[in-house]
A = this chain, B = another copy of it.
Amino acid sequence: MKNPLFIKVHETINNRLERGEYKPGEKLPSIRSLATELNVHRLTVFKAYQLLKENGKVEVKDKSGYYAKGESSILTDLDYPIVTSYIHKSHLSEIHRVHVEFQFSQAVIDPDLLPNQYTSSSAKKVLDLYPKVLSTYSTVQGDRELRESLANYFYEKQKQYITADDVLITTGSQQAIDLIARTFVRNGDHVLIERPTYSPAIDMFRELGARLLPVNITPDGYDMEQLEQFMKEKKPVLFYLNPTFQNPTGYTVPDNQRKQLANLAEKYRVFILEDDPFRDIYFEKKPPLPLFTYDVHGYCLYVRSFSKYIAPGLRISAILCRQPLMEQLLASKSLADNGTPLLNQKMFLHYYASERLQKHIEKLRIALELRKAAMESALEGEDFYWETPDGGLNLWVQIPDSIRMEELLAACLEQSLSFVPGTICDPLKEKENWIRLSYSYLNEKKIVKGIQLFKDILSSLK
């Protein structure tokens, strides 16, 4: 922690180099202009450039300035030691920061598919119903009325025998996963993670210094022998999984594996972090019950997000788990933000408990299935491979081997089209010729136009 400022400036420039903002051979900003931009002393920038030079990232040419060196890359090595958060980069959020016309990278639902007028008027009713809701804090665990309502919901829909005490309300599922990770994972712990997986989870566990054990997910689920082997030998503390319409693949882990996993978790004392954001977005038939339903020993922490398809602006998710774990999570939640805003919880409660919600979800399923179909037919006729998902928001598509992914991503972003490169979703940073395309944000017409553009860009790179 010596010299924090120049190390931070160093990281800022290094991030830009890795993002490809400065191409190899390109001249970097002068020390003076960078000092002005970053609001630091020129000496600080000088030191940062010196460090970049030592690390072979930049070179000095004839005293005319600093130039970017080597290849640009958004990838890091799996085994790169996580020593400080300065080297942490949430890759996915960096792609999302680019505004594009053809947005296939974010698995979010088109606001036009959501019943905005109805949610607004429902929200207004909440303001009348609880006149002091804007002046009142929530408890750390969350509004009891909402937790009781959710406990009923989970009992009815998913055969989960829980009470309001087993429910913790969080500000979105990202927070839920983060809370669980920071509560139960320590530096050096082994963590099982699907391959590929939700990319911010990789960043998060790495940030905590975890050692990741990748478990392949296929259309048939996991290799259960490999999984048990890992549990036996490496004694992982936790398995992070998203077994239903998995992100990014769309695959669903079969029922029998869920039961097996619940038993393995108990046998090897491994916590199960079951992330379940897409359960309600099924197309033909309902998915298997959550793994949590089969967990009788209290090893499973179930994260359920609703707000993605109900009211993303509210950011309401829930963690379900048994008592001894809940106590620990409450301590973390108390430090993290002292409780999710009460307003959002009450608004969610009243909207989600309404009849209108069920109708909305039914319509939404149809709309999303149509968009998926539009994307699938637009993709046809090329050398692509994918499995049709039974639910969720994404296609996981294999593209020809010959394409260099970084080049493709750069070309697409330049032409205002975004996708998620498979490497980002892979704890091993391989999966070079896979990409995730979300069909939830654009309407059919735009999807068709965008996929055509994508094909054109791809052809131009062959």
1/0 per residue, CB under 8 A from B, across A303-344: the answer is: 000000001111100000011110110111011111011111
In the bound complex, residues from chain B placing their C-beta under 8 Å from that of A294 are none
- Is A313 a contact of B207 with CB atoms below 8 Å? no
**Which of A1, A12, A324 is packed against the most chain B CB atoms within 10 Å?**
A324
Interface flag for A204 (CB, 8 Å): yes
Question: Complex: how many Å from CA A271 to CA B5?
Answer: 10
1/0 per residue, CB under 8 A from B, across A6-38: the answer is: 001101100100000000000000000000011
In the bound complex, residues from chain B placing their C-beta under 8 Å from that of A159 are none
Interface flag for A2 (CB, 8 Å): yes
A118 to chain B: closest residue by CB: B134
- Is B3 a contact of A269 with CB atoms below 8 Å? yes
Interface flag for A461 (CB, 8 Å): no
**Given A40-B298, A90-B331, residue A336 in contact with residue B174 (CB < 8 A):** yes
Contacting residue for A5 out of B93, B298, B332, CB 8 A = B298
In the bound complex, residues from chain B placing their C-beta under 8 Å from that of A330 are 93
Question: Complex: how many Å from CA A338 to CA B204?
Answer: 12
Closest Cβ of chain B to A284, distance in Å, is: 26
Question: Complex: how many Å from CA A331 to CA B114?
Answer: 29
- Which one of A125-133, A400-408, A426-434 contacts B? A125-133
Closest Cβ of chain B to A52, distance in Å, is: 14
- Is B325 a contact of A8 with CB atoms below 8 Å? yes
In the bound complex, residues from chain B placing their C-beta under 8 Å from that of A140 are 93
Contacting residue for A313 out of B12, B84, B297, B341, CB 8 A = B341
In the bound complex, residues from chain B placing their C-beta under 8 Å from that of A312 are 134-137
- Is A235 a contact of B1 with CB atoms below 8 Å? yes
- Which one of A180-188, A224-232, A274-282 contacts B? A180-188
Question: Complex: how many Å from CA A136 to CA B307?
Answer: 10
Question: Complex: how many Å from CA A4 to CA B325?
Answer: 9
In the bound complex, residues from chain B placing their C-beta under 8 Å from that of A347 are 134, 343
Closest Cβ of chain B to A108, distance in Å, is: 7
| Those of A121-161 within 8 Å (CB) of chain B | 123-124, 127-128, 131-137, 139-140
**Given A175-B336, A335-B207, residue A108 in contact with residue B90 (CB < 8 A):** no
Interface flag for A384 (CB, 8 Å): no
**Given A133-B313, A271-B4, A343-B313, residue A324 in contact with residue B38 (CB < 8 A):** yes
Question: Complex: how many Å from CA A203 to CA B89?
Answer: 27
Besides the known contacts A108-B137, A135-B313, 8 further A-B residue pairs in the complex with CB atoms under 8 A apart? A8-B324, A8-B325, A39-B323, A84-B186, A85-B331, A111-B136, A116-B132, A137-B312
